[in-house]
Every structure is written in structure tokens, then in C-alpha cells.
Amino acid sequence: MIEKALKGNRSYWIWIAFLISVIGIGLSAYNQQRWFGLTVTGMGRDISWGLYIAQFTFLVGVAASAVMVVLPYYLHHQKEFAKTVIIGEFMAVSATLMSMLFILADMGRPDRLLNIMLYPSPHSMVFWDLLVLSGYLLMNLVSSWAMLGAERKGVPPKAWVKPLIYLSIPWAFSVHTVTAFLYAGMPGRHLWLTAVLAPRFLASAFAAGTALLILVSLILKRTTGFDTGKEARAKLAVLATYAGVANIFFLGTEFFTAFYSNVPAHKESLQYLFFGLDGNCQFVPLMWFSLISGVASIIVLLVPALRKSTPWLVGACSALVLSIWIDKGVGLILGGFVPSPQQEIVQYTPTATEIFVTLGIWGIGILLLTILLKVVVAVKMENEQ
């Protein structure tokens, strides 16, 4: 089926060429980092995670959100998701691959990955994260490709495919839960030291991932004529709405716990992000933009008339994705490092190398998704003829 990705119009090949050029720039930047190490990044002793881990955190959520279409379609037999489920699974494949590449980039050199593989430890959350991510990637890629192949041939899928899909449902929850535990297991970082972090991760993942799936389906409709259906998008919009409400609620509980208890260690990170701390206001405008965008998008999605309007739906989903990307990236990662255990405020700004590597990895993920969706659209439209 992969040969279907080798056929396309002029716009398709221009898009492919653009992505390959972005990947080339990213590889060039990564080659510099490979030789000089993480000294070419803006990270250091006090802020050891930056732009790479911010992208990783967001993308793991996007990968896990595939369960929002897999579960109702395969367990509850909601047929309106028939055209959407394969797109969600391939989005999960792309997002999981990018997540793993961002972990690799954050290690500085690729050979350091061998430390995890050759010396696995059950006490290492990075080991468990790598395990669940690689397993989730294989599950979604193999099962979705097998289902698509069976659909193309007009035959039932192999007997082993459905159990693999059912296994991927709890695995999706474990992927983002393990990621949350990666942060929550660090007692020196008070912003992350909360039992609500895992539920908050899942709520934000389901909101952003579902909203992104709606946007991808609308892009496919506009560029290829392949329509996943209004009813499927309407149900996805409802799921994104309630997940977004839950995400804002969990953020509110964090604020209440931190500021009502008035424990300095618990409120200083939130104070730094949203109000500034000791005159340091680097991320205050960005965080308020994130919060306002998130609330505004949820208000729009809560109104049925607006939710059914395509322009309003696109705007709300875009704002929701951007809001959560900022909150889980800039807010969660960088806010967790401020102040340091020595009560110092260290500013972080990503370097050009980090930005180009990040763009390169996004280019790889989007290129893979483009190829997979090209195959999906070709197979689906052939069957409809």
C-alpha cells in the first residue's frame, strides 16, 4: 500500500519537498549538537530540561489521545468514527515517534540511549517511558496498517488484530501516566509534586489531541475531498470540550492548593509563571495568553451553535491546542525549575540550535503522518468508488 504515497499532485510534492528541507536543516543543527554536546543549547545545571522535553510532554499526550476514537469505535461500535479511527491511530504513530526523537535529542548524543537499553532498571522512570512508548508505537502502527490492508482487500482482519487494538486502549492511558510520574517522582520540584498531575496530563492530552484530530480531518477534507463526517467531528468536539473543562478545573485546584495553603515552595512556581517573581516576568504574558485562549476556546465549544460552525470550530480547536502546548511546554517544564533548590531564579531561552532541531523533528513526524494519511485517503476513496 505504501506505493500510494508515491502518487500525488504538484501541491503534494511541494509540501513533501518543504518538509524534507526542514528535516535537512534540523539534521544539520543536530549534527552540531552531536559534536559539541548540550553546550550549544540554552540548558544548564539549573534548567536541565528545555524545549525538547516540552515538545515531548505535549506530543505524548497527542499520542495517548488516539484512545478517544479507538475506544468508542472498537468497544462501543459507534460507526460514525469508522473514517476517523485510522487517522487517530496514525496520528498516534507520528506523535509517538516524535516523542522518542525528542528524548534522543535531549540526551545530547545518540549513544547515550544505550545506557537505558543495556542497563535497564525498574527504578528508572525513563526506562519505563521508553518501554511504553516503543510498545505503543508498534501496537498502533501494526494494528492500524493491518486493519487498513484488510479493508483494502475487502476481507476481515486477522484474528490477532482486535486483541492488539484492545490492548492499546489501557496502554494509551499508561503512556501518559508514566510520563506524569516521570515528573511527579521528583520531590525537589514542587510544581510537579502533586497527585493531580497524572489526571491533569490525561485531561489536557484528550483535549488537545482530540482538537488536533478535528483540525487534521478538516485539512484532509479541504485538500483531498476526504470527509470523515460531520457527526464524527461533532462528537469529537464534545469530547474535547469536556476534557478541556477538566483540564481548567485541575489547574484551578493547583492554584487553590498553592495559594490557600500559602506554602512558599508550592506557590512560587505558579507565581513566577503568572504574576512574576522578584521582578522576573519572562513568561507572564505567554501564560496569560495560554489561559485566556484555553478558557475562550472552551466557552466557544460549550455553545452548540458555535460548535457546529466550521470557522468557529477551527478557531476554538486551534486556540485549545495552542493553549495546552504552551501550558504543558513552557508552563509545566520551565516553571518546575523556578526557583531552583538554592532559591535562585535562572532564565532559560532556547538557542537557534534547539529551535532548528525541534523543527526538524516536527518535520519528520509531519512527513510520516502525511505519507500515512495519503495511503489512508487513497484506500478509503478507492473503496467508496
3-state secondary structure 310-359: HHHHHHHHHHHHHHHHHHHHHHHHHHHCCCCCCCCCCCCCCCHHHHHHHH
330 to each of 58, 250, 322, how far by Cα in Å? 10, 17, 11
Whether 51 and 104 have beta carbons less than 8 Å apart is answered as: no
At 159 the pLDDT is 87
At 384 the pLDDT is 65
Copy the grid coordinates of residue 31: 549534527
Average pLDDT of the chain? 88
Question: Domain extents for the chain?
Answer: 2-384
At 385 the pLDDT is 61
At 155 the pLDDT is 82
Tell me the C-alpha distance between 212 and 74, whole Å. Answer: 21
Tell me the C-alpha distance between 363 and 146, whole Å. Answer: 26
Beta bridge partners of 277: 280
Q: Which residue ranges in the chain fall short of pLDDT 70?
A: 125, 383-385
225 to each of 4, 120, 356, how far by Cα in Å? 16, 47, 33
User: Domain 2-384 classified CATH 1.20.1630.10?
Assistant: yes
Tens digits of residue pLDDT in 227-259: 888 899 999 999 999 999 999 999 999 999 888
At 321 the pLDDT is 95
At 334 the pLDDT is 85
163 to each of 167, 169, 170, how far by Cα in Å? 6, 10, 12
Tell me the C-alpha distance between 347 and 370, whole Å. Answer: 37
- In the three-class reduction of DSSP (H, G, I as helix; E, B as strand; rest coil), residue 277 is classed as strand
At 79 the pLDDT is 86
